[in-house]
Structure 1
Amino acid sequence: MTITFAALEKSQRLLMEAKLSPIQGTRFQPTGFPDLGAALYEGPDGSPMLLVESAQSMANRLEAVCWDENQDDWVAPLKGIPLIKVVDKDNTPLTNSILDSHRLNSPYILEGKDKTVLDMLKKELADMEEGRVDLKKLARIVMKLDTNTLLHGLFLAKKELAGGRLRFPRAISSFIEAKNVKTASSGGVKNDSVNPKGDTAKGFGNVPFARDEFVSPEITAYFNIDLAQIRAFGLGKEAKNLLIALALFKIQKFLQTGLRLRTACDLTCTGLTVTLPENYGIPSLEDLEKELPAMIEACASLFSEPRMTTVTYRK
């Protein structure tokens, strides 16, 4: 099949919902927050709700499924997309712009002694020190150097770069919620068979603990691709199609391989539905894997050469 996105031309967003359930049993463990724990809240209709996975965490998970840890590279269908790798003085991989917390704004890319990327950005963006930020020009530079950041979002928070005003929001966002949740309370004990009354502050002794998990009849993952923002980059049809395909690849790959969120939160997808635009058929993961290599090469003129920029990090 040849993937086409013509049916999306008049849509501002591509919205999807995936129904999830525990792969075994009924309980699951949600994400937790410091000084808060589980994010329990009341829905608009009074239903007890639970945030299972936050937008920040989902952004990371959607990119983790694109990376081959063993090869330290994109998974096979995505090879050829520009990125930035960071190595140490011995050429050992440290991080990269796909997995690092700040992506292109990573301190390992911009704050070390190797100023390759910083100097390039300063040169390319010199005319934005004053006046309005030219977001189309910024998008062209990011497309060339670190394409995925156009989907992930960017905040170049450095005064040397247009006074820290260079940013655009995520073009793909996601979160997971559970509705009508109930608490499944349990507990346990960390046993010390050698010295049960030992100093627990030092890791000795028996330590009892409480544990809260949850059950829900309705766990839903929500996905939002901002088509209007992707079009506003002004990068041309091939780039627009590549970005949409990459976003869909992330979603389909995550739903097939990325749903083991935690030890006690292993989920499975029972159905994926498009809620906007109506009746749009999402390409399968298999079709995306087949067509993405050609879509990547169709954008070759927009990419840097070599497509991998290497930065050596030294404090």
Structure 2
Amino acid sequence: MPPLFEVSRPLFRSLAQSQRLFHRAAKSAPSSSAPPYLSSPRPSVSSGSSVSPLLPSRQYHHQHQHHHQLLFHPRQEPNARRVTARPRGANAGAGAGQRRHKAKTVEEARSRYRTGPFSWKAGVLFVTAAVGLTWYFESEKERMHRRRVAEATKGAGRPKVGGPFELRDQEGRPFSSEALKGRYALVYFGFTHCPDICPDELDKMARMVTLVEEQRPGSITPVFITCDPARDDPATLKAYLAEFDERLVGLTGTYDEVRDVCKAYRVYFSTPRDIKPGQDYLVDHSIYFYLMDPEGDFVEALGRQHSPDQAANAILDHMKDWKGGWRQ
């Protein structure tokens, strides 16, 4: 086996030849393009210096390293590519189509992490949804209450309030309860000689009908039934009701007919039967407006505690809940 020196001799020979070729090329090149470590002068060596003249100085090594950093820095190479780390794990594929929000300033990042998932848009959406749900449930609650009231007033076989009747109107023509079907009816019981209550209630009734007709024309019929048939004939009713509203329908009849109607509507009736001409007597009656639906069933009693606006709104609400037919 040859010695190590004999084996490595060709290697050293090639290295020495490469070094000679490198120095020749450096000497033949212009001085402006020469590397800094070839163009810079060698440090002078004094007698007292400890630097060996055969070894390069620290400045030589520093310039040599700086030159190679400029030559081989990755940012100076035109073909250098930036490698971006990809996410690993189960979410590697999911993150490809999503872009994360990158804060521009530190304050923006801090405010984002401070607020968390909530923002002013989420707050507005939450408040709007809460208000909408509250309004919906309140309206449904009122609608179900009106429905329970309307259903509770209907008896099995015949209504608890109201019923069929046969009377005469202020023109002297026959008028039955069938003429009220197809529309809502607002029925009030009183008499023409009433000093104060009946005029006030009839004014209120005319106002209620006007408010309802403004939104639903031709949907309600106001009816005035006398509790004093002995003095309230058709002509008297016509003259009396004309002072309040021409849309009012006045009804009268015999003593028994009027008494039966008052009994059907659960109205207090205290008029004496046999009245002599010129005799004074008292008439007492209930003070309610009876709302009847287009099928002739009782819906609700509106009393003196209801203002005209409140009563009109209640009537309109019942009309909105009505699912049956209407008379043209």
Please give the range of the TM-score, normalised by the shorter of the 2 chains. under 0.3
**Greater relative CO, 1 or 2 (CA 8 Å, sep 6+):** 1
Larger radius of gyration: 2
TM-score, normalization by structure 2: 0.19
TM-score, normalization by structure 1: 0.19
Identify, as 1 or 2, the structure richer in helix: 2
